[in-house]
Amino acid sequence: MKKLALAVVPLLAVGCGASDEDGDGIADGVRDPNNISVVVPATPKGTVSGQVLTTQQRPLSGATVTMTLGSTPTANTVATDEQGNFTFQNVPGGAQVLLTFSKEGFASLRATSVVPSSAGNVPINNGNASFGPVLLSELNGSLKVYAFGPDGRPAAGAQGTLEVDPAGLVLFGSSERTTSTVVIDATADAQGLLSFERVPRPAELQRLQGKLRLSIAALDANNDGVFEAGGRLIEYTADQLLASGTQRTESLPYAYTPEAALGLSHSSIASLKGGSKDPIFNMVRSGEGLSIVFNQPVQPTSVIAGLTDEYSKARLGFSKSLSGGGTVLTIVPDQPFQPGKEYNLTLRAVALNGSATGATQFNSTVSFFGGDLNQPLTTAIESVQFRDIKPSAVYTNGVLDPNEQVYLNFNHVVSRYGASPVFVFFNADLDANGTVGNAVGEVGNKTGFSLLADEPLAPYVTGTPAEEPVFSITASGFTTRYSFRFTGTRPLNPADFPSGLPVVVAFSAIKDAARNGYANAWGVSQVEDLTGVLSGTGAIPPAP
């Protein structure tokens, strides 16, 4: 039996191996110093320790230190002793730890570090992450700031945020990243006073080389969207506060640039900002309105706007609204803008708070056009008319007499480029010789009547009192109305042409159309002939 027992013991020793349940790095049950077995832990352990002080570097006892491991959901907490020291035991080697330092009446601080992964080498479990000394500032000071608007009145209701950075500091140690910031919000009272309590005193801040950053938001006291004052960011150093105290007076700027004359920052009509008059830059899609943004707030009741047609003949209905703090004006027409047609806008507004330059008014009258840039229209002649001259021995109403003006109205605006005009021809025997094509202006002749732009600035005057424009307008260089003077040798009576008198515009005869020609609102050149009809209803009454 003795021999059998001796045989089993070595077998058990080989199967179980050495253990170290008490974590001292020495195999359990071994007492012989000359026969110690070193057990390398599967997860080496280390410590996290440090010291917490005031900014005067006096021990801060009773401070709470909370450690969070990146791999565990729960946190460990210890309190500093009378010397301000703290220690966390059995922290896994290689672990990233987050320490939070706090105490009532002091700023908090957060710092990260990594326990050395060498923990477990001889000597065993010796890795340590050291924090400190950690300095926490005492929150026993205050800052009072009187804020005034650009008009000199207290900025009552202004929202301020004070940020103290840093409010704590890790002097040295193995900390990788550190943050300690105190953030306090305040609202200005009726006197414009922003009171920030529980901030470090200037002396505390100076020892940390910290700063105070005060941000005051733009002020809209009555929430009407109009900002009475702009926002401001102010920075105070500890030295400044030590020298001149913790009660300050600050002025808020305008919410816009007061040196600038009242003008526009954005507009759906380029010409309203002084840009190009070309329809491509001034085209408003059917069903849309006009968007106009002023560079500063305007008096809501000062906005005067007017819409009219190309002739300034009809006053067009619309609605307008002012939003965006008195800066965004929207004008919506009662009827959609027609593609290719020209319209005129007049606009006047007065700045809400005036201007340092005295330029407080905005006045402008511009042209714009209906249409969609992606949907160009085909050019056509909409109507042919002539203007009667007051009846006399030479002139008869309702008959196209020599020297009377003939008007061709296109379905959308057309502009002329280059120096060579297009010719217009009548498909009629103008000289009564029995043949069409012999006389100037007859279809088949090389020479016709030169068609020139005749942009209207007012309605046709046909009665008494004379028709007047809705408001004064200026030429845009683009128009639906073109004209020529009829210089035939005898009158033409439209009544002699039951189906109407054909009028041909010979665009195809223009030489070098790339340099000379006519283009529509979308910039498309017209290179094909167009035909219109002069009928018996085409006469415009003479001026009285």
pLDDT grade for 357, boundaries at 50, 70 and 90: low
User: How far is the C-alpha of 81 from the C-alpha of 269, rounded, in Å?
Assistant: 73
CB 467 within 8 A of CB 461: yes
CA distance 275 to 465: 37
Determine how β-strand 530-534 pairs with β-strand 422-426: unpaired
- Counting Cα atoms < 13 Å in the Cβ hemisphere of 332 gives 6
pLDDT band at 17 (very low <50, low <70, confident <90, very high): very low
- Kindly indicate the confidence band of residue 447, based on its pLDDT and cuts at 50, 70 and 90: very high
Asked whether the predicted pLDDT for residue 304 surpasses 60, the reply is yes
Which pLDDT band holds residue 4 (cuts at 50, 70, 90)? very low
**Predicted local distance difference test score (pLDDT) of residue 51:** 95
For 267-285, give the DSSP string. ESSGGGGT----GGGSEE-
Task: Report pLDDT digits (tens) over 478-525.
Answer: 999 999 999 999 999 998 998 999 999 999 999 888 899 999 999 999
Q: Given its phi and psi angles, is residue 29 left (phi above 0), alpha (psi -120 to 50 degrees) or beta?
A: left
pLDDT at residue number 121? 46
pLDDT at position 91 is 86
Fold classification of 264-370 (topology level) = Immunoglobulin-like (2.60.40)
In the 3-class helix/strand/coil scheme, how is 487-500 assigned residue by residue?
CCCCCECHHHCCCC
Confidence band for 539, pLDDT divided at 50, 70 and 90? confident
**Contacting residues for 19 by C-beta, under 8 A, at least 6 apart:** 27, 28, 39
Give burial (CB, 10 Å; 0-12/13-18/19+) of 445.
middle
The stretch 199-208 carries a mean pLDDT of 96
* Per-residue pLDDT band at 2 (split at 50, 70, 90): very low
d(CA 156, CA 189): 5
Mean pLDDT is highest, among 174-178, 364-368, 464-468, for: 364-368
User: Is pLDDT above 90 for 441?
Assistant: yes
Distance of CA 238 to the CA centre of its chain: 37
Compute and round to an integer the Cα radius of gyration of the chain: 45
pLDDT at residue number 174: 64
**What is the reported pLDDT for 238?**
95
What number is the average pLDDT over the span 78-83?
97
**Three-class secondary structure assignment of 332-389:** EECCCCCECCEEEEEEEEEECCCCCCCCCEEEEEEEEEECCCCCCCCCCEEEEEEECC
Q: DSSP assignment, residue 503? A: E
pTM exceeds 0.75 for this model: no
Contact 450, 506 (CB under 8 A): no
**What string of H, E and C letters represents the secondary structure of 134-155?**
EEECECCEEEEEEEECCCCCEC
Whole-number Å distance between alpha carbons of 428 and 490: 12
**In the chain, what percentage of residues exceed pLDDT 70?**
88
Token pair of 247 as six digits: 């009660």
Q: Say yes or no to pLDDT of 9 above 70.
A: no
- The Cα–Cα gap between 401 and 394 comes to 8
Inter-residue contact 299 to 352 (CB < 8 Å): yes
Cα–Cα distances in angstroms (integers) from residue 405 to residues 210, 289, 381, 399, 408, in the given order: 84, 36, 17, 12, 10
Residue 42 pLDDT exceeds 80: no
Q: Which helix (H) or strand (E) holds 2?
A: helix 2-16
Average confidence score pLDDT of the chain = 88
**Amino acid 394: pLDDT:** 86
d(CA 114, CA 95): 6
Name the one residue in this structure whose structure tokens are 């002091």.
106
Q: For strands 361-370 and 283-284, give the pairing.
A: parallel
3-state secondary structure of 316: coil
| pLDDT tens-place string over residues 56-77 | 999 999 999 999 987 677 899 9
CB–CB of 444/525 below 8 Å?
no
CA–CA gap between residue 72 and residue 95 (Å, rounded): 10
Total residues found in the chain within this entry: 544
Top-confidence residue, 409 or 171: 409
| Count of C-beta atoms within a 10 Å radius of residue 358 | 8
Q: Which residues contact 247 (CB under 8 A, 6 or more apart)?
A: 143, 144, 145, 146
Helix (H), strand (E) at residue 156: none
Of 379, 377, 382, 383, the closest CA to residue 416 belongs to: 379
Residue span(s) of the chain under CATH 2.60.40.1220 come to 264-370
* Residue 268: pLDDT over 50: yes
**Distance between CA 170 and CA 135 in Å, rounded?**
6
Provide the 8-state DSSP code for 215.
Answer: E
User: What's the rounded Cα separation, in Å, for the pair 397 and 539?
Assistant: 8
**Lowest-confidence segment of 37-46, 335-344, 381-390 by average pLDDT:** 37-46
Residue 322, both tokens? 């002012």
Alpha helix segments (H runs only) across 236-354: 238-244
Question: For residue 11, is pLDDT > 50?
Answer: no
For residues 121 and 117, which has the higher predicted lDDT (pLDDT)? 117
Q: Would you state the pLDDT for residue 74? A: 82
Using the predicted structure, report yes or no on whether residue 143 has a pLDDT greater than 90: yes
pLDDT at 227: 86
Q: Is it the case that residue 212 has pLDDT exceeding 80? A: yes
Look up the CATH architecture of domain 49-255. Sandwich (2.60)
* pLDDT above 80: residue 345: yes
Inter-residue contact 185 to 215 (CB < 8 Å): no
Check if the beta carbon of residue 376 is closer than 8 Å to that of residue 520. yes
Residue with structure tokens 């009192």? Answer: 465
**DSSP code of 101?**
E
pLDDT score for 64: 98
Give the C-alpha distances (Å, rounded to integers) separating 258 from 104, 357, 359, 419. Answer: 47, 8, 10, 47
* pLDDT computed for residue 313 by the predictor: 97
pLDDT, residue 202, reads: 97
Numbers of helices and strands, H then E, in the chain? 3, 33
- For residues 426 and 518, give the distance between their C-alpha atoms in angstroms, rounded to a whole number: 20
